[in-house]
Amino acid sequence: MEAEKYACSARSAELELASEMARFGSLDKKLPGEGFIGGNQRTHWNAQLESLHSSTVTAEARANLLRRDLFDLRKKIIDLGYQVPEGPVVSGSLD
């Protein structure tokens, strides 16, 4: 499902930024003095991470709602006596 792919992509981007922030943060602590990451840069990174986190939460919620709706639809179809194939609704790539 495209919504699940988008949610995974959003989570990946969030984790990648958090990883970079941690890596540069640990390097910054090893340098004497104030290091090379300024307060403005840190604030920018934190805002960017919060934005990515918000996008991830929204994307995962949409994917969960679509998954639930699809489950409900499949159940209604089965209750009407029809068979529903397992797996994705559309197979193959749309690229």
Residue 82 phi, psi (nearest 5): -95, 160
| Tokens encoding 76 | 């209604």
pLDDT for 26-84, tens place per residue? 877 777 766 667 778 889 989 999 999 999 999 999 999 999 999 999 999 999 999 98
Residue 2 CA to residue 51 CA, distance in Å, equals 21
- Give CA torsion, residues 53, 56, 57, 61, to 10 deg: 180
Amino acid at 94: L
Residue 24 CA to residue 35 CA, distance in Å, equals 10
pTM given for the model: 0.70
